[in-house]
């Protein structure tokens, strides 16, 4: 397939039979017909996928891991931070997540399902809650003429509801942090467009923290007569988890008027003993519209009463009282409806919000309580849901103005292809949906690691952390380790460019941990040796998982050697900035000697060998061999006094990687494989060498662009995007890795945020003049 055509994209929309384009839907983004079925079905990498040779080589590791896994899951009854035996199966259903940063997240799939939940920090629950739906009711002349759940499902419960919407009449379009779902109603000459808006706004550290999202329903009536239209939003008190039936949950209606604006809705109080929370469905009161509700209904059985209530007059009964607490084994849900009139050949809109308020959180060990960032503005009492909803419904238009202002220069840059614009913004989902936590710094906290400023350390509470809080995100939804530093190394570009204060907060946390020391002996699963949990002066691998702390460290060769040289080069720059000439000369001498040794040991005339061990596979071509040069270029260095690698060697190495790892792998259509033999076959010597790491590919592409290889860089990136988003069905769950056929590993991974390194490289192109879409055709 020619990557420059749109064959795979067209296939995503091939089953769409309507000609309706929706209301205000942009042209750029990821678009898919709700009836689409992905042909390619992949399976997760598991222990049984390890090759026999690798199994023999690592048999001791396998035994240690099995013992550890058994103790963790069967004895301690805890979730292992990496589970090789119960990897997540691929569900090709996910869409843009709801909510801001660090307050928990709820993912709504591209078919409209509420299907991925992360309300407890870092712990994911993958459950489609079938009663969480939007339903449309059309009335003419006082009679209901059409009532439909906007879902393709036909569940075995709620049987009296009209299910089975025909997905061939609808499509989903995502340009994060917004998405649009367009529903043409067959035979009704009516089109609905649901616009989903979350407050994810660069350089905003207030609204971006809010756990809330808005759904704007634009209703187009193309008939020559008026219609009364009602949209009903139903929501279960819970997330489909077993604690939904634990008892004690209750709902209550509310109305809040403030600053001349009113909202009404239902609060769903979820009274769990650990991390209780309140869900809130709300609507904005507008002239000519009526809001009605049903405080409580059972989401089990036929549920005919609620369906008939809406069908009778397009409104719900609206009881004023709270519901009684549920008994053990019971579930409870709520419904909210907004009714309006839509004139002939005209348009109207209604607005809903979904908020959740879990102000205080504990992690698995429950050693202390943290408060989320948004509580700085809404308090910690757990009563913020009405105010959050009111604020969202009255300010979302300002959010959209900020989002448009941020995205417009890139979307209007005609030198950039359409697929890239989709990839750049949609990969940002992980900033919200990466098990992300953003908490306030407690008054008694000390992040310095114990080394005081007078001794060269940090203050106990740096001003940046006091003002902007502490931020952490998982290595991946399946690899539950927070702020994994060797992966954040790639992903950090998104934070640095869009929320730099959060990036700085992470750096303070890591810097403080470097000087920490924990002599507690712990078994290292990799080599079977016992070693201290944390040694003074060592950068930690991560800052722990949502259950227990976990710190370790590893390294490799040509890759790490290049990064080491780049670091020395940076020390030279820092010394010059601080006007410490003696320090500069010291590190300059180290750089000269290191550069010579690096070339002597690793350069083979075309590229840098994987390592200098002299073994049979030492001359494999590593896709990420120029990572040191990448970071130098990204930092504005890499030339003259701050050059660690000769430009001609970097360009030669990148050309070798492009020719071998990219174009000689999978027909040049899947990005760059990690390791390639000089003869043009993948290196299969390890589990990871024949994988494509999406985030590494994005970093490689950025390096190419920095060195003027723009076409090669964009081609390399496009292969990954089209494979993941258009063929494998992994939208909004970009994995760490995939092989050429059959296998993927670690869904929803941090590293692909490195795509923002590509944008930095594009921004830094010499003499780059942006053009509009009218000037250059879009691919």
pLDDT in tens, 248-257: 999 999 999 9
Q: What contacts 385, CB < 8 A, 6 or more positions away? A: 267, 278, 279, 280, 355, 356, 357
Cα gap 185→169, rounded to integer Å: 7
Q: Where are the alpha helices (DSSP H) in 184-294?
A: none
Q: What contacts 420, CB < 8 A, 6 or more positions away? A: 714, 717, 718, 721, 758
Cα gap 374→371, rounded to integer Å: 8
Cα gap 330→344, rounded to integer Å: 45
Q: Read off the tokens for 88.
A: 């997540």
Give, in order, the Cα–Cα distances in Å from 351 to each of 97, 141, 295, 588.
Answer: 18, 24, 19, 61
Q: Read off the tokens for 750.
A: 């941090």
Number of Cβ within a 10 Å radius of residue 35: 18
Cα gap 177→13, rounded to integer Å: 22
Is residue 499 within 8 A of residue 202, CB to CB? The reply is yes
Cα gap 559→538, rounded to integer Å: 19
Residue 500 CA to chain centroid, in angstroms?
18
Is residue 103 within 8 A of residue 372, CB to CB? The reply is yes
What letters, b where the CB count within 10 A reaches 16 and e where it falls short, cover 560-598?
A: ebbbbbbebbbbbbebbeeeeeeebeebbebbeebbeeb
Share of the chain above pLDDT 70, in %: 96
pLDDT digits (tens, 9 = 90+) for 397-446: 999 999 999 999 999 999 999 999 999 999 999 999 999 999 999 999 99
pLDDT digits (tens, 9 = 90+) for 58-112: 788 888 888 888 888 899 888 888 888 888 899 999 999 999 999 999 999 999 9
| Torsion sign, CA atoms 525, 527, 531, 533 | negative
Closest CA relative to residue 483, chosen from 102, 771, 15: 102
β strands within 198-249, DSSP E? 212-221, 227-236
360-361 and 30-33 as β-strands: parallel, antiparallel, unpaired?
A: unpaired
Cross-strand pairs, 30: 174
Kindly report the average pLDDT of the chain as a whole number: 93
β strands within 473-580, DSSP E? 518-523, 530-534
Mean pLDDT of 261-269: 98
pLDDT digits (tens, 9 = 90+) for 489-508: 999 999 999 999 999 999 99
User: Is residue 607 reached through a cis peptide bond, with omega within 30 degrees of 0 on the bond before it?
Assistant: no
User: Is residue 158 reached through a cis peptide bond, with omega within 30 degrees of 0 on the bond before it?
Assistant: no
Find the radius of gyration of the CA atoms of the chain. Answer: 27
Residue 694 CA to chain centroid, in angstroms?
14
Is residue 515 within 8 A of residue 447, CB to CB? The reply is no
Q: Where are the alpha helices (DSSP H) in 412-462?
A: 418-426, 429-433
Residue 560 CA to chain centroid, in angstroms?
27
Mean pLDDT of 675-698: 94
| Torsion sign, CA atoms 725, 730, 731, 733 | negative
Is residue 378 within 8 A of residue 355, CB to CB? The reply is no
Return phi, psi of residue 54, to 5°: -70, -35
Cα gap 636→633, rounded to integer Å: 5
pTM, to two decimals: 0.94
pLDDT value for 690: 94
**Position 554 confidence tier, pLDDT thresholds 50, 70, 90:** very low
What letters, b where the CB count within 10 A reaches 16 and e where it falls short, cover 135-163?
A: bbbbbeeeebebbbbbbbeeeeebeebeb
pLDDT value for 365: 67
pLDDT value for 522: 86
pLDDT value for 428: 98
Mean pLDDT of 460-471: 96
Location of structure tokens 């923002």: 756
Give, in order, the Cα–Cα distances in Å from 237 to each of 114, 137, 160, 356, 510.
Answer: 13, 24, 21, 11, 38
| Torsion sign, CA atoms 555, 560, 561, 563 | negative
Number of Cβ within a 10 Å radius of residue 647: 13
Number of Cβ within a 10 Å radius of residue 245: 15
Q: Read off the tokens for 330.
A: 């019971």
Q: Read off the tokens for 300.
A: 């089990």
- With a cut of 60, say whether residue 576 has pLDDT above it: yes
pLDDT digits (tens, 9 = 90+) for 328-364: 999 999 999 999 999 999 999 999 999 999 999 998 7
Give, in order, the Cα–Cα distances in Å from 530 to each of 524, 534, 554.
Answer: 6, 12, 15
- With a cut of 50, say whether residue 466 has pLDDT above it: yes
- With a cut of 70, say whether residue 770 has pLDDT above it: no
Q: Read off the tokens for 485.
A: 């530093």
First and final CA of the chain: distance in angstroms?
14
Element (H, E) at 758: helix 755-763
Return phi, psi of residue 217, to 5°: -100, 110
Mean pLDDT of 120-149: 96
Number of Cβ within a 10 Å radius of residue 110: 27
Q: What contacts 567, CB < 8 A, 6 or more positions away? A: none
Question: For residue 207, with 0-12 CB atoms within 10 Å meaning exposed, 13-18 middle and 19 or more buried, which class applies?
Answer: buried
Poorest-confidence range of 273-277, 519-523, 578-582? 519-523
Return phi, psi of residue 601, to 5°: -80, -30
Cα gap 574→508, rounded to integer Å: 18
Mean pLDDT of 294-311: 96
pLDDT value for 774: 40
pLDDT value for 538: 85
Element (H, E) at 631: helix 627-634
Which residue did the predictor score with more confidence, 87 or 720? 720
DSSP letter at 531 equals: E
Q: What contacts 303, CB < 8 A, 6 or more positions away? A: 131, 157, 158, 160, 161, 297
Mean pLDDT of 261-288: 97
Is residue 111 within 8 A of residue 34, CB to CB? The reply is yes
Closest CA relative to residue 163, chosen from 111, 91, 119: 111
Cross-strand pairs, 233: 134, 336
Is residue 694 within 8 A of residue 736, CB to CB? The reply is yes
Max CA separation in the chain (angstroms):
88
pLDDT value for 552: 31
Q: Read off the tokens for 442.
A: 């407690």
């Amino acid at each position: 397939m020619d990557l420059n055509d749109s064959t795979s994209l067209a296939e995503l929309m091939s089953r769409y039979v309507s000609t309706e384009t929706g209301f205000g839907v942009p042209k750029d983004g990821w678009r898919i017909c709700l009836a689409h079925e992905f042909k390619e079905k992949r399976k997760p990498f598991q222990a049984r996928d390890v090759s026999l040779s690798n199994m023999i080589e690592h048999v001791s590791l396998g035994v240690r891991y099995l013992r550890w896994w058994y103790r963790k899951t069967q004895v301690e009854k805890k979730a292992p931070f990496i589970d090789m035996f119960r990897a997540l199966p691929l569900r090709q259903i996910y869409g843009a997540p709801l909510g801001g940063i660090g307050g928990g997240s709820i993912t709504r799939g591209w078919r409209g399902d509420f299907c991925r939940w992360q309300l407890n920090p870092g712990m994911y629950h993958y459950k489609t809650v079938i009663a969480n739906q939007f339903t449309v009711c059309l009335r003419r002349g006082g009679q209901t003429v059409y009532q439909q759940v906007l879902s393709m499902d036909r569940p075995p419960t709620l049987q009296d509801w009209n299910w089975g919407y025909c997905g061939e009449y609808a499509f989903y379009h995502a340009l994060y942090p917004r998405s649009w779902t367009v529903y043409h109603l067959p035979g009704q000459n009516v089109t609905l467009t649901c616009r989903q808006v979350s407050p994810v706004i660069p350089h905003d550290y207030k609204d971006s923290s809010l756990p809330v999202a808005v759904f704007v329903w634009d209703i187009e009536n193309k008939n020559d007569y008026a219609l009364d239209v009602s949209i009903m939003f139903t929501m279960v008190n819970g997330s489909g988890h077993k604690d939904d039936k634990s008892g004690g949950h209750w709902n209550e209606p509310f109305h809040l008027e403030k600053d001349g604006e009113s909202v009404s809705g239902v609060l769903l109080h979820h009274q769990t003993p650990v991390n209780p929370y309140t869900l809130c469905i709300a609507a904005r009161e507008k002239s000519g519209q009526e809001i009605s509700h049903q405080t409580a209904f059972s989401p089990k059985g036929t549920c005919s009463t609620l369906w008939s209530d809406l069908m009778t007059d397009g409104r719900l009964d609206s009881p004023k009282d709270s519901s009684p607490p549920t008994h053990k084994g019971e579930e409870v849900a709520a419904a909210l409806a907004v009714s309006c009139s839509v004139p002939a050949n005209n348009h109207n809109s209604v607005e809903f919000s979904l908020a959740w308020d879990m102000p205080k959180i504990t992690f698995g060990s429950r050693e202390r309580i943290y408060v989320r960032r948004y509580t700085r503005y809404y308090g910690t009492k757990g009563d913020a849901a009405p105010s959050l909803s009111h604020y969202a419904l009255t300010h979302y238009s300002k959010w959209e103005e900020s989002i448009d202002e941020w995205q417009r220069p890139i979307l209007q840059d005609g030198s950039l292809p359409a697929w890239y614009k989709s990839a750049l913004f949609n990969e940002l989902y992980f900033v919200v949906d990466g098990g992300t936590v953003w908490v306030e710094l407690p008054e008694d906290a000390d992040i310095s690691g114990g080394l005081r400023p007078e001794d060269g350390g940090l203050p106990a509470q740096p001003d940046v952390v006091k003002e902007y809080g502490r931020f952490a995100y998982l290595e991946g939804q399946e690899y539950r380790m927070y702020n994994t530093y060797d992966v954040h190394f790639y992903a950090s570009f998104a934070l640095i460019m869009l929320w730099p204060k959060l990036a700085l907060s992470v750096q303070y946390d890591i810097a403080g941990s470097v000087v920490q020391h924990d002599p507690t002996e712990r078994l290292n699963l990799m080599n079977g040796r016992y070693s201290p949990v944390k040694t003074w002066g060592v950068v930690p691998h991560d800052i722990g998982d949502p259950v227990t702390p976990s710190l370790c460290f590893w390294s490799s060769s040509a890759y790490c050697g290049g990064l080491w040289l780049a670091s020395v080069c940076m020390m030279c720059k820092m010394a010059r900035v601080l006007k410490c000439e003696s320090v500069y000369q010291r590190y300059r001498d180290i750089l000269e000697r290191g550069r010579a040794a690096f070339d002597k040991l690793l350069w083979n005339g075309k590229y840098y060998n994987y390592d200098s061990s002299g073994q049979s596979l030492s001359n494999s071509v590593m896709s990420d061999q120029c990572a040191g040069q990448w970071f130098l270029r990204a930092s504005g260095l890499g030339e003259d006094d701050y050059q660690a690698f000769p430009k001609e060697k970097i360009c030669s190495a990148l050309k070798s990687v492009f020719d071998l790892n990219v174009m000689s792998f999978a027909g040049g259509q899947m990005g760059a494989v990690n390791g390639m033999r000089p003869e043009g076959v993948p290196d299969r010597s390890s589990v990871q060498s024949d994988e494509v790491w999406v985030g590494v590919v994005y970093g490689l592409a950025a390096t190419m662009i920095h060195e003027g290889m723009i076409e090669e860089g964009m081609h390399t990136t496009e292969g990954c995007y089209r494979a993941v988003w258009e063929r494998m069905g992994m939208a909004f769950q970009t994995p760490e890795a995939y092989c050429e056929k059959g296998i993927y590993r670690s869904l929803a991974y941090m590293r692909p945020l490195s795509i923002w390194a590509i944008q930095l490289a594009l921004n830094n192109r010499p003499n780059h003049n942006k053009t509009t879409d009218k000037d250059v055709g879009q691919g």
